[in-house]
Amino acid sequence: MSQQTAQRGGVAWALVITGVAGFMAALDNLVVTTALPAIREDFGGELHDLEWTVSAYTLTFAVLLMFGAALGDRFGRRKLFVVGIAIFTAASAAAALAPGIEALIAARAVQGVGAAIMMPLTLTLLTAAVPAAKRGMAYGTWGAVNGLAVASGPLIGGSLTEHVSWQWIFWLNVPLGLALLPLARLRLAESHGTGAPLDLTGTVLASGGLFGIVYALIRGNIDGWTSVPVLTGLIVGFALLAGFVRHGIRGKNPTLPMRLFRSRAFSAINAASLLMFVGMFGAIFLLSQFLQTVLGYSPTEAGLRMLPWTGMPMLVAPIAGYLSDKIGGRPVVTVGLALQAIGLGWFAAVVATDVSYAAQLPALIISGVGMALYFAPAASLVMASVIPSEQGIASGANNALREVGGALGIAALASVFSAQGGYASPQNFVDGLGPSLWVGAAVVALGAVAAWLLPRRTATEETAVTAPASDRPVAERTPAGV
């Protein structure tokens, strides 16, 4: 990088711009959760409508995440980063102005498109702007900002909903986005990747398949599991995903080369991540409503009471990182997922219409510690599971699978909830919540088993699965994602 380029980019400006952009995208994963009762009161939506206000974002974010990184590599990372910010900001304003639940869901889906373009390019642009000797500090700051967004999402959403209106959880993004647009154009240096062909086929197959499955899970209890729409969604969804797998095996420059899954380390950590997010997102979606709908807390109070869970990674992550360096990431991630499962099971055991916060607190703390022990070493395990030239695509794949897990978790646990209970009364809500949390605990426990199957040595210590020459352009992309 030339001195002129480095000066134009500027480490401080790159950190600020990419940090704020990443904060907005990460925040919108969970910021809606504590606003759900208020949205339901205003628009009169049913459970399946509320699911889509979250899942529409996570689903489009997940399936387009790696495609967004590829667009930046091909057409210019700064240029596409600006495009992503513009889409995300405009969609945020549309969500705030939405006259009904359908318009809100549509705006959330477009928000996910913007985030999928913007988010993976934050790290590549930061890498281009920061000298190699300072990248560790820069990555740590960037990661901490994103962690803060996840932790504070329910609290920010609850505070804005209670003291202003739920629309302001979306209006918040507009001034930030408008400020970032000129700053990104003027203060970030342009960079390109390898210019590899875009995988339109893989993107369409993954998008259609996941949409069909999530649609079927959300509509199953409403339309009946043997109804034509639900069966069609399941059959077509799984067929398209099978096509995506086949494309990943035989296609040229696929978004996700299936040969990566020959590595036991790559398969195990991605299975653990997917299962972790299925249980965690599904549980947070329901528990944020439980605290308000059943226990009567205000949105702000609900957000504060969830902090022992969502905010714990900010405190425990340094300890988890130290332990990972000393004894390896495998036991730390395994214990973390086991604790997350225990926390969800504990909550399922004590949940009642009159449960005290003191009785909930151990479950929240255990879940929070478990989450922190997972997050700290998981990224390192993903990077160590492949050869260095494929770390970019491995990072993007892991983040996409985590977002997919979030969308599937909300759909699956809400399906269990609606089969066993509902919103008719506080007891009816608890009747559905308990079984849902037990399912979430079981899923995360399976994630702990997957993590335990990680090899004791990483791909950099073993014979790595090498890429064919035709796949090298995609494999050599810079890291794409959190």
Residue by residue, DSSP assigns 305-354 as HTHHHHTHHHHHHHHHHHHHHHH-HHHHHHHHHHHHHHHHHHHHHH--TT
| pLDDT of 66 | 79
| pLDDT of 471 | 43
Tokens at 256, concatenated: 């996700």
Q: Are 116 and 107 in contact (CB under 8 A)?
A: no
| pLDDT of 78 | 92
| pLDDT of 120 | 82
pTM: 0.79
Residue 136 CB burial class (10 angstroms; 0-12, 13-18, ≥19): exposed
Residue 31 CB burial class (10 angstroms; 0-12, 13-18, ≥19): buried
Distance CA 330, CA 320 (A): 12
Amino acid letter, residue 121? L
| pLDDT of 403 | 81
The residue with tokens 């950590």 is 269
Could you write out the DSSP letters of every residue in 197-262?
PP-HHHHHHHHHHHHHHHHHHHHHHHH-TTSHHHHHHHHHHHHHHHHHHHHHHHSSS-SS-GGGGG
| pLDDT of 14 | 87
| pLDDT of 128 | 79
For each successive 10 residues of the chain (482 residues), what is the average pLDDT? Answer: 48 88 84 86 81 86 82 87 96 95 94 90 80 70 73 84 92 94 90 74 87 83 85 93 92 83 89 92 88 90 86 77 80 93 95 93 92 79 75 75 84 89 90 95 96 72 43 39 40
